[in-house]
C-alpha cells in the first residue's frame, strides 16, 4: 500500500505495532493522525474486527478528520461526519461524545431520563447564577464563571461534590462553593440534565463501579487509541485505563511540549508516567516534521529546550530553509495592529488565501484593536469562537426540541415558553411545575394546554420524521417564523440563521429519526470554538483567522502572527499569581503557536498597551531574548501603513 510505503522508519514502527501498550511521542507536524489512522487500517487488515477498535480525540474537528481518513483508507464511502454508536466501523469520537453514548446506553442504571439533555457553558452559567442567589450570595460579587470553572475543574480531577465538601469546606470560599455546587447539582438532577463534567465523571463511575458494564466495554473495544494524550485530565485518564484494563492494547500519541491546558485540568503526569502505568510499553519517537520550514523549527527547538519537564527530542524537517522569523516592535497596540493588518493585506495581494493566515493572541481583549485595523483596511477576517449554536434564535429552536423530548427541562421551557410571547408568566410557570394548575384561570389554562400540545406535536415529529423536517416544523409551528418575518431587518437575519439550522440538520437525515435528532442536540451542546471554522454559514466567510493561542492547537496555517510578546502578557503574569500553574506552560504555549506555521512566522510586541483601562509600559517578552539573529530579523514600521481614523 502506497501510504504505508511512504512512512518514515519510526512511523512504520508505530503503525506495525499490534498487541500491548505503545507510547508515541510525536512532535508538532510529525504526522500523528496519519500514524493513528494507518495503524487502525493495519489492525483491520490483520484480522481485527473494526467494531473492536476505539479512537478518541479531543475536538470534534479532529474526530471528523480522523474518521474521514480512516474510512477513506478502508474504502468506506458512507458519511464520516458523524457515526452511529452501533455501526460496523471503528468508533472515532471525542471523550465527551464517548461519554454521552455510553450514558445513553445505560441511562436507567444512573437514574437519567432516556432523552437527558446536555447543558453547554451558557446554560450552566444561568443555573449557577441562580444557585448563587439561592445560597444567599450576590452573583455580582461572586463570579458565576469562577464558580463553574472550579466545579468543572474538580469534576475533571475526579473529585465529586461530597469529597470536595469534606476536603475544602474549611473556609468561606470552600463553604460557598460546596453550597452552590449542592444547589446546582440538585437543579440539574431535577431537570434530567448533565453538564460537560458530568458526562465524563458519570461515565468513569459507571465503568469503575459496575463490573458487568466495564467488562462489556472491555470486550467491545479490544484496541484503544488516544490522541493528544498529554491533554488528558484525571477522569479521562481513568476512563481510558478502565476500558484498556483487560487487554492492555492501548496506543497513545502525545507531546509533552504541547501540554497547554493545565488550567482546565490536563495532567502532564498522565503521559510522563505512562511507562510506569503499563509494564514494558513500546516507546516510539516521531521527530520529523512535515509542516514547517527549517527556520521555524530551529526557532521552536531553541524555545522549548529551555523547559526541563519533558522528553528530550528535537524536531527536524526535509522542507526548505524558509524565511527568518520576523519581529515587529510597535510603539503601542494601535501600531502593532496596523502592522498585522497591512502585512496580511500584502500577503493577500500576493495571492495567499486569507484562510491561510492566522493572527494569534494570548488574551481575548487583544482582538479589539486588531479587528479595527482589519475593518479599516477592508480585509476579510473571522474571529474564532463565534459559534453558530450560541446564537439566541438557534438556541430557541433547539430548546423547543429539547423541552419536547424532556418535559422536566425547566431551563428550556423558561427559554421558549414566551418565544414568541404566549402570555405565560413566571407565576404560571411555577404553578405548571408545582402541580397547582387548578389555581389557574381558564384563559391561562388554555394557553398552557396549547403550549403543551405544541411540545407534544414537536416530540411526535422528532421521533418519526427526518431531522431537517423536524427543524422546519419547529420554526413554523412555534410561531418563530411568523414573528421574525414581521420584524426588523435584524429579525430577518435571525430568520436566515434558523433556516441555516435546517441545512446543518440535514446531515443527520441519514440516521433513524430519534438517533438523528439526539446527535444534532449533542453537536450543539458539545460544539467547541474550532467547530466555528467548519460551520459553513453566511457569517463564516473566508478571511484571516483571529484566535487565542490556546484555540490554535491542532490547526495549521501558511502564515502566522503571534502578537503581544510582552512581559506580563506573554508570558502571562497569571502564571506567577497561580501556584497550581505549571511555570513551563507559557513556553509550551509559545512553542505550540510557532509550530502552527508552515511558511513564515511574524512576532509582534508593543512598547505600551492599555490593559484593563490602564496604559502600561511594557518590557519585551523573555521569549524574544531566547531567539538569536540566526532565526530572527526585525522589521521596521512603514509610515505609509498608517491609516487615520475618520
Cite the active site residues.
Answer: 32-33, 227-228, 258, 596
Task: State the cell numbers at 344.
Answer: 496580511
Closest by CA to 396, choosing from 479, 467, 468, 464, is 479
C-alpha cell at 580: 497550581
**Number of H helices and number of E strands within the chain?**
29, 16
The radius of gyration of the chain from alpha carbons, rounded to an integer in Å, stands at 26
Dihedral angle at the C-alpha atoms of 521, 524, 528, 534, nearest 10 degrees? 110
Distance CA 109, CA 107 (A): 6
Determine the Cα–Cα distance for residues 507 and 56; give it in Å rounded to an integer.
Answer: 22
Q: Which residues does residue 572 pair with via DSSP β-bridges, in sequence order? A: 568, 569
Nearest alpha-carbon partner for 300 in 633, 601, 605:
601
Q: Are 374 and 544 in contact (CB under 8 A)?
A: yes
Of 80, 49, 43, the residue nearest 65 (C-alpha)? 80
CA 177 to chain centre: 25
User: What residues form DSSP beta bridges with 548?
Assistant: 361
* CA atoms within a 13 Å half-sphere pointing along the CA-CB vector of 519: 23
As a whole number of angstroms, the distance between CA 183 and CA 151 comes to 12
Distance, in Å, from the CA atom of 423 to the CA atom of 448, rounded to the nearest integer, reads 9
Cβ–Cβ under 8 Å, residues 467 and 401: no
Q: What is the DSSP letter of 246?
A: T
The dihedrals phi and psi of 555, each to the nearest 5 degrees, come to -105, 165
* Closest listed residue to residue 496, CA positions, set 488, 508, 482, 484: 484
Q: How do beta strands 22-26 and 193-194 pair?
A: unpaired
Q: Write phi, then psi, for 326 (nearest 5 degrees).
A: -95, 140
Nearest alpha carbon to residue 1 among 59, 45, 56, 65:
45
Cα distance between residue 251 and residue 17, in whole Å: 9
- β-pairing, 597-611 vs 325-332, is parallel
Q: What is the spatial distance between Cα 590 and Cα 634, in angstroms, rounded to a whole number?
A: 18
Q: DSSP letter string over 43-103?
A: HHHTT--GGGEEEEESSHHHHHHHHHHHHHHTT--S--SS--TTSSS-EEEEHHHHHHHHH
* Residue whose C-alpha is closest to residue 68's, from 58, 52, 83, 84: 83
8 Cβ neighbours under 8 A, 6+ residues apart: 288
Amino acid at each position: 500500500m502506497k501510504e504505508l510505503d511512504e512512512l518514515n522508519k519510526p512511523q512504520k514502527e508505530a503503525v506495525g505495532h499490534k498487541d500491548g501498550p505503545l507510547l508515541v511521542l510525536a512532535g508538532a507536524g510529525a504526522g500523528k493522525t496519519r500514524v493513528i489512522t494507518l495503524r487502525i487500517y493495519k489492525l483491520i487488515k490483520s484480522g481485527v474486527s473494526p467494531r473492536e477498535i476505539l479512537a478518541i480525540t479531543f475536538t470534534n474537528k479532529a474526530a471528523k478528520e480522523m474518521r474521514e481518513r480512516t474510512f477513506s483508507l478502508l474504502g468506506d464511502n458512507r458519511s464520516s461526519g458523524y457515526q452511529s454508536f452501533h455501526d460496523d466501523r471503528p468508533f472515532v469520537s471525542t471523550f465527551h461524545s464517548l461519554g454521552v453514548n455510553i450514558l445513553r446506553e445505560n441511562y436507567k442504571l444512573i437514574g437519567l431520563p432516556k432523552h437527558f439533555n446536555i447543558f453547554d457553558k451558557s446554560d450552566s452559567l444561568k443555573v449557577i447564577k441562580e444557585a448563587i442567589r439561592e445560597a444567599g450570595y450576590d452573583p455580582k460579587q461572586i463570579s458565576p464563571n469562577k464558580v463553574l470553572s472550579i466545579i468543572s475543574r474538580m469534576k475533571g480531577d475526579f473529585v465529586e461534590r461530597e469529597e470536595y465538601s469534606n476536603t475544602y469546606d474549611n473556609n468561606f470560599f470552600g463553604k460557598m462553593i460546596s453550597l452552590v455546587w449542592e444547589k446546582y447539582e440538585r437543579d440539574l438532577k431535577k431537570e434530567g440534565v448533565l453538564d460537560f463534567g458530568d458526562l465524563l465523571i458519570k461515565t468513569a463511575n459507571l465503568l469503575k463501579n459496575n463490573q458487568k458494564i466495564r467488562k462489556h466495554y472491555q470486550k467491545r473495544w479490544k484496541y484503544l487509541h488516544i490522541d493528544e494524550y498529554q491533554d488528558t485530565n484525571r477522569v479521562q485518564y481513568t476512563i481510558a485505563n478502565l476500558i484498556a484494563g483487560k487487554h492492555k492494547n492501548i496506543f497513545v500519541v502525545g507531546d509533552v511540549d504541547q501540554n497547554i491546558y493545565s488550567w482546565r485540568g490536563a495532567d502532564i503526569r498522565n503521559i510522563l508516567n505512562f511507562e510506569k502505568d503499563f509494564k514494558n510499553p513500546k516507546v516510539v519517537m516521531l521527530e520529523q516534521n512535515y509542516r514547517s520550514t527549517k527556520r521555524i523549527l530551529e526557532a521552536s527547538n531553541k524555545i522549548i529546550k529551555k523547559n526541563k519537564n519533558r522528553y528530550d527530542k528535537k524536531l527536524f524537517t526535509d522542507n526548505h530553509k524558509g524565511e527568518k522569523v520576523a519581529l515587529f516592535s510597535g510603539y503601542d497596540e494601535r501600531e502593532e495592529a496596523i502592522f498585522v493588518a497591512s502585512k496580511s493585506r500584502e500577503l493577500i495581494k500576493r495571492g495567499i488565501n486569507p484562510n491561510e493566515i492566522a493572527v494569534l493572541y494570548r488574551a481575548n481583549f487583544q482582538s479589539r484593536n486588531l479587528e479595527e485595523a482589519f475593518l479599516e483596511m477592508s480585509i476579510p477576517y473571522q474571529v474564532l469562537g463565534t459559534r453558530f449554536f450560541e446564537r439566541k434564535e438557534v438556541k430557541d429552536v433547539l430548546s423547543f426540541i429539547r423541552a419536547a423530548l424532556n418535559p422536566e427541562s425547566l431551563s428550556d421551557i423558561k427559554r421558549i415558553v414566551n418565544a414568541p410571547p404566549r402570555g405565560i408568566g413566571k407565576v404560571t410557570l411555577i404553578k405548571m411545575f408545582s402541580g397547582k394548575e387548578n389555581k389557574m384561570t381558564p384563559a391561562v389554562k388554555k394557553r398552557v394546554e396549547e403550549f403543551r400540545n405544541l411540545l407534544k406535536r414537536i416530540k411526535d415529529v422528532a421521533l418519526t420524521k427526518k431531522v431537517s423536517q423536524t427543524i422546519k416544523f419547529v420554526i413554523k409551528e412555534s410561531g418563530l417564523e411568523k414573528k421574525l418575518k414581521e420584524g426588523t431587518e435584524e429579525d430577518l437575519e435571525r430568520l436566515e440563521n434558523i433556516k441555516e439550522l435546517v441545512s446543518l440538520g440535514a446531515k443527520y437525515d441519514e440516521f433513524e429519526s430519534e438517533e438523528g435528532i439526539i446527535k444534532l442536540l449533542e453537536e450543539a451542546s458539545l460544539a467547541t470554538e474550532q467547530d466555528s471554522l467548519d460551520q459553513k454559514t453566511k457569517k463564516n466567510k473566508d478571511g484571516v483567522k483571529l484566535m487565542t493561542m490556546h484555540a490554535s492547537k491542532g490547526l495549521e496555517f501558511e502564515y502566522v502572527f503571534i502578537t503581544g510578546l510582552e512581559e506580563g502578557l506573554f508570558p502571562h503574569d497569571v502564571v506567577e499569581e497561580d501556584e497550581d500553574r505549571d511555570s513551563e506552560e507559557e513556553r509550551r504555549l509559545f512553542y505550540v503557536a510557532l509550530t502552527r506555521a508552515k511558511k513564515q512566522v511574524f512576532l509582534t510586541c508593543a512598547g505600551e498597551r492599555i490593559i484593563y483601562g490602564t496604559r502600561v509600559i511594557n518590557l519585551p517578552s523573555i521569549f524574544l531574548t531566547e531567539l538569536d539573529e540566526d532565526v530572527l530579523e526585525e522589521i521596521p514600521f512603514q509610515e505609509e501603513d498608517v491609516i487615520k481614523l475618520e
